[in-house]
Amino acid sequence: MLIRYLSQIGRYFLMLKEIFNKQTKWSVMRNLIFKEIDDLIIGSLGIVAFISFFVGGVVSIQTALNLTNPLIPKYLIGFATRQSVILEFAPTFISVIMAGKMGSFITSSIGTMRVTEQIDALEVMGVNSLNYLVFPKIIALLLYPFVIGISMFLGILGGWIAGVYGGFTSSTDFISGAQMEFIPFHITYAFIKTIIFAMLLATIPSFHGYYMKGGALEVGKASTVSFVWTSVSIILFNYILTQLLLGS
């Protein structure tokens, strides 16, 4: 079992090496990158905006409901919402959600190409299929921090609206809390995590789709396995990066 996992990890790194070999013609690659930006980035904005806005609201309400001691100032609602959204919710939990949305899309689309011999067709023509299929996804996901930036903004906005219009805090308190003891490095930390998660989101689902065997049923199974491993990797890297960047 351990040997099988190690062999899979080895195969994953060999795949990463092969992605950057024998580049596809730029005129073709450019169009592929734009298509992936549309599918993976633009296509995710709606769900990311929706989830971020409402979860930001919930964080604000739950923080307010837990501040039962009258000595604790109300501006902590804004502070807690900002910290939760920027440090954890936007970079990590949106990425776990994207492992389901983007990841299953990537695995199933590449897996279907494998099942229908489209990948064999690319290889027979002399195309580096890994470069053709995975490289544009990696480049498109360099824009992923832009999605997370929007998620941060909408999360805090949702928190502000829920806090103020729900009667839990005043706008002034929330905003002053949101500005209180702001550490710019926290934004850097969040975006470093985001870039690493973007690479995991592009490559792990591609790996599971590219090397799958079987038919339509196996495409579904590969999507599920891909979601599990992408999520596990994101959570694991989240811990490691937090320890490295904030722990010292």
Partner 1 sequence: MIEVKNIEKSFGDSKILKGVSTVFETGKTNLIIGQSGSGKTVLLKSLLGIHQPEVGTISFDGRIYSDLDADEKRELRTEIGMVFQGSALFDSMTVAENVAFPLRMFTKDDKAKIDDRVDFVLKRVNLIDAHKKLPSEISGGMQKRVAIARAIVNNPKYLFCDEPNSGLDPNTSILIDNLIQEITEEYNITTVINTHDMNSVMEIGEKILFLKNGLKAWEGTKEEIFRTDNEAVVAFVYSSNLFKKVREAHLKE
Under rule CB under 8 A, residue 183 binds partner 1: no
- Our measurement of the distance from residue 204's CA atom to the centroid of its chain's CA atoms, rounded to an integer in Å, reads 12
Stretch of 85-93, 109-117, 155-163, 180-188 lying at the interface with partner 1 (CB under 8 A) = 109-117
Burial of 54 (0-12, 13-18, 19+ CB in 10 A): middle
Angle between helices 216-246 and 184-210 (to 10 degrees): 150
Residue 63 or 131 with smaller CB distance to partner 1: 131
49, 127, 143, 235: which one contacts partner 1 (CB under 8 A)?
A: 127
Q: How far apart are the first and last CA of the chain?
A: 35
Minimum distance from residue 224 beta carbon to partner 1 (Å)? 23
Nearest alpha-carbon partner for 91 in 16, 172, 196, 224? 196
Q: Which two tokens stand for residue 50?
A: 């929706």
Taking the least distance from each CB to partner 1, the nearer of 4 and 25 is 25
Site string for partner 1, 9-28 (x = CB under 8 A): -------------x-xx-xx
Instruction: Work out how close the CB of 114 gets to partner 1 at its nearest, in angstroms, rounded to a whole number.
Output: 11
Q: How far is the CB of 113 from partner 1 (least distance, A)?
A: 8
User: CA-to-CA distance for 67 and 5, rounded, in angstroms?
Assistant: 46
Contact 102, 210 (CB under 8 A): no
Give yes or no for residue 125 binding partner 1 (CB under 8 A): yes
**What is the binding site for partner 1 (CB under 8 A)?**
22, 24-25, 27-28, 112, 116-118, 120-121, 123-127
